[in-house]
Chains A and B, each alone.
Chain A
């Protein structure tokens, strides 16, 4: 497999993992909103907390993690250099 194909495969897998986590925090937990609200998260009703703060925070952390790990993938495959215009 060429370097280019390897890089794209890793990039694609990284994208899929990231979107799986995104899917969990944006869709899956809200399928169970009513149940989630019966448990407490940080002392708030669960579903209320997640859509007021929890999911939002998860997305912020997720994108920073995504960007950092993608940079590592780029470096590994030798695409770390700055592009020229």
Chain B
């Protein structure tokens, strides 16, 4: 059945895996009919999928440096696309995005544009050139292109700040889902999530992460699309929701005006009552499809996410694993295609979910009596989980639009239940969310640990270290960083989505300019790069402190979510000015940049370095 090596058989292997997963879903559906409890179904889904990932992680164990750092550079184009998509789509994309669109509408959808448009920058400006370079990590590129340990260390610093901010959010998301699905307290669930994450990456590094990420993509995309299509058909909204929800979007607009959206403002005391239940609860205050932000508000957020995408090391390093420059380029296209499948479905899910809430014909609850609403099974469940809340502010006994509150993540987690889908779908969604959060956390922890072990330990502290020693250090760092991330995640400082957006801003502040100019501007010097990274990161971080923690009004409409704009502008000016006043790079460096621009021929850095 399996002729040839592992790589030749990938389509077959993942085909069987997908088939097996679908059979598992069907078995669970049958078990539910036979009376299996919803709690047991949830546990089965999470345990079964995490078990598979751990098995893949174990089978991919390796003692080779290039397999550990770049999966042996033999990941085929389309599979690398899937792995990147899983690496990319985090717990925030899976669990929080549809909810954000649901509550914040158009202004929030800037994130959709930003998180996809960034890939155009990755493919045109960076990925093929970094692949040609043949580096193991992003700081490896900075260190070799500009020369010297200072530039390398600055890159490690930016990478650490950005990726660590991001990873706490992902471990938080893993913990949230594990605590709901397994019914255990959050601060224990965080560590359960962490152990699952480490099982995937510890023994096999990038190779193991690659093959688990492909498996996780398959689970998460099935888990996202099945409910969207199912709900759409159940509500009679359209066979293919993406192309057929025009009437529903229009209907929401008319229902919003019928229910008097935004006309009744809740008082501070009323909102305090809601926030006392759970500070994440929000009401519907924004129109579904109307433009509700200024052009600059929209564009600045989209721009930050795009430049951040092109600077996040855990994404860039995925393109180090393809066999050639050509396949790196194509692989970016496939990544975005696989991401598009989920991102274009999120607004549709938000539309359907809101319809199920508002439209009387679809079983909507707005306008019904409180007695009726509070006796609904699903309301009681989600109210108990503190994700949903209603309160009769005006005392008329009927639920008004301004009296309904929900937390954003409930849109993805609760909609299947609200729309009356069997519980097996909710279990599937939990498994999908877990896959999304785990795959991103794995990529991030690996990016940080690899940068520290390769760029800091091997390149700076002990360049004579043997392979065994290097991989031991890499694995030890993986565990340490994981635990540090989980400990901070358990503190819950910032919301999942807020931390993710900050991570993008940090990355673009420090890394975007040095990366791009490293390829596109021969005159860029080491001193320029160091100035660009430090001043960019420093100014961005200062602006964040200034508007978010010190509560000052920002300038030019730049908020704590878009502080990367300050960072990237400072970084650009600093890097150009300092590069021009310092001595131009030596002939060898200029020759290196010229070689990077030629897509064929030898990689700059050898296979083993």
Interface residues of A (CB under 8 A from B): 4, 7-8, 11, 15, 18-19, 22, 25-27, 30-34, 37, 42-45, 47-48, 51-53, 55-57, 59-60, 62-64, 66-67, 70-71, 74, 79-85
Contacts and interface: CB of A to CB of B under 8 A. Distances in A.
A11 B337 CA distance: 23
7 contacts: A34-B291, A51-B110, A52-B347, A53-B344, A56-B340, A57-B344, A60-B340
A83 B124 contact: no
B550 interface: no
Contacts of A32: 295
Contact of A82 (B110, B324, B347, B348): B324
Nearest to B348: A52
Contacts of B106: 33, 47-48, 51
B120 A18 contact: yes
B299 A30 contact: yes
Nearest to B332: A63
Contacts of B306: 26
Interface string B341-358: 001100110000000000
A74 to B, nearest CB: 5
Given A51-B109, A83-B601, A67 B295 contact: no
B324 to A, nearest CB: 5
Interface of B: 73, 106, 109-110, 112-114, 116-117, 119-121, 123-125, 128, 132, 134, 242-243, 245-246, 249, 289-291, 293, 295, 298-299, 302-303, 306, 323-326, 329-330, 332-333, 336-337, 340, 343-344, 347-348, 594, 597-603, 606-607
A71 B333 CA distance: 13
B125 A67 contact: no
A79 B123 contact: no
A10 B323 CA distance: 24
Given A8-B597, A60-B336, A83 B120 contact: no
B291 A47 contact: yes
Nearest to A14: B124
B290 A37 contact: yes
Contacts of A25: 117
B123 A67 contact: yes
Contacts of B607: 85
Contact of A4 (B113, B326, B594, B602): B594
Contact of B295 (A22, A31, A79): A31
Contacts of A18: 120, 124
Contacts of B594: 4
Given A33-B298, A83-B324, A85-B603, A22 B120 contact: yes
B538 to A, nearest CB: 27
Contact of B117 (A45, A55, A66, A74): A55
Q: Which of A15, A30, A71 has the most CB of B within 10 A?
A: A30
A28 B49 CA distance: 43
A56 B343 contact: yes
Contact of B112 (A52, A82, A85): A52
B367 to A, nearest CB: 25
A48 B347 CA distance: 9
B326 A74 contact: yes
B520 to A, nearest CB: 8
A42 B109 CA distance: 18
Contacts of B344: 52-53, 56-57
A79 B329 contact: no
The interface centre, meaning the residue of A7, A42, A59 with most chain B CB atoms within 10 A of its CB, is A59
Contacts of A79: 598-601
A70 B197 CA distance: 38
